[in-house]
Structure 1
Amino acid sequence: MKRLFITGGSGLLGSKFKYIAGSKYEIVTTHHKNPGENSVLFDITDENDVMNKITSLNPDAVIHAAALTNVDYCEDHPKEAWNVNAKGTDNIAKACEKTGSKLTYVSTDFVFDGERGMYSEEDKTNPLGYYASTKLEGEEFIRQYDDLNYAIARVSVLYGWHTRMNFVTWVIDELKNGNEINIVTDQYNSPTLADNAAEAMIKIFEKDKTGIYHTVGDERINRFDFARNIAEVFDLDSSLINPTKSTNFVQKAKRPKDSSLNVEKVQRDLGIKMLNTTEGLNYMKKVMQ
Structure 2
Amino acid sequence: MTAQNGSSEPVFLIFGKSGWIGGLLGELLKQQGAKFEFATARLEDRAAVIADIERVKPTHVLNAAGVTGRPNVDWCEDHKIETIRANVIGTLNLADTCLQKGLHMTNFATGCIFHYDDGKFQQGNGVGFKEEDTPNFTGSYYSKTKAMVEDLLREYPNVLTLRVRMPIVADLVYPRNFITKIIKYDKVIDIPNSMTVLPELLPLAIEMARRKLTGIMNFTNPGAISHNEILGLYKQYVDEEFTWSNFTVEEQAKVIVAPRSNNLLDTTRIEGEFPTLLPIKESLIKYVFEPAAANKEEVKKAVREMRGR
Q: TM-score if structure 1 supplies the norm length?
A: 0.83
Q: Counterpart of 2:141?
A: 130
Following superposition, the deviation at residue 67 of structure 1 comes to: 2.0
1:75 corresponds, among 60, 74, 77, to: 77
Once the two structures are superposed, what CA deviation does each residue of 1:158-201 show, in whole Å capped at 9, x if it has no partner? 011465442223455x4xxxxx721111x332121122231221
Following superposition, the deviation at residue 285 of structure 1 comes to: 4.6
| Residue identity in the other structure for 1:136 | A
Cα distance in 1 for partners of 2:276, 2:50 equals 33
| Residue identity in the other structure for 1:135 | K
Cα distance in 2 for partners of 1:236, 1:86 equals 45
Pair 1:244–1:15, CA change in 2 (3 A): same
Q: Counterpart of 1:34?
A: none
Q: Larger radius of gyration, structure 1 or 2?
A: 2
Once the two structures are superposed, what CA deviation does each residue of 1:46-72 show, in whole Å capped at 9, x if it has no partner? 222222212332211111111211321
Cα distance in 2 for partners of 1:228, 1:9 equals 34
Does the 8 Å CA contact 1:214/1:266 hold for their aligned counterparts? yes
| Residue identity in the other structure for 1:14 | G
Structure 1 gaps, min length 5: 30-39, 175-179
Q: Counterpart of 1:206?
A: 210
Cα distance in 2 for partners of 1:6, 1:236 equals 41
Q: Counterpart of 1:177?
A: none
Once the two structures are superposed, what CA deviation does each residue of 1:119-153 show, in whole Å capped at 9, x if it has no partner? 111222123221111112222332344xx411111
Q: Does structure 1 residue 255 correspond to structure 2 residue 260? A: yes
Q: Does structure 1 residue 188 correspond to structure 2 residue 192? A: yes
Cα distance in 1 for partners of 2:164, 2:222 equals 11
Structure 2 gaps, min length 5: 1-8, 295-309
Q: Does structure 1 residue 3 correspond to structure 2 residue 8? A: no
1:153 corresponds, among 128, 146, 162, to: 162
Cα distance in 2 for partners of 1:91, 1:252 equals 30
Once the two structures are superposed, what CA deviation does each residue of 1:26-54 show, in whole Å capped at 9, x if it has no partner? 1323xxxxxxxxxx433112222222212
| Structure number having the greater strand percentage | 1
Q: Does structure 1 residue 245 correspond to structure 2 residue 248? A: yes
Once the two structures are superposed, what CA deviation does each residue of 1:184-229 show, in whole Å capped at 9, x if it has no partner? 11x3321211222312211212222221111112221222322222
Once the two structures are superposed, what CA deviation does each residue of 1:91-134 show, in whole Å capped at 9, x if it has no partner? 11122112222111111111223322621112221232211111
The aligned runs of 1:37-48 (5 Å cut-off) are 40-48=39-47
Q: Does structure 1 residue 54 correspond to structure 2 residue 53? A: yes
| Residue identity in the other structure for 2:199 | D
Cα distance in 2 for partners of 1:105, 1:214 equals 12
Q: For residue 12 of structure 2, give the secondary structure of its aligned residue in structure 1.
A: strand
Q: Counterpart of 1:94?
A: 96
Q: Counterpart of 1:230?
A: 234
RCO comparison, higher one (Cα < 8 Å, 6+): 1
Q: Counterpart of 1:28?
A: 37
Cα distance in 1 for partners of 2:158, 2:86 equals 21
Q: What percent identity do the matched residue pairs reach?
A: 23
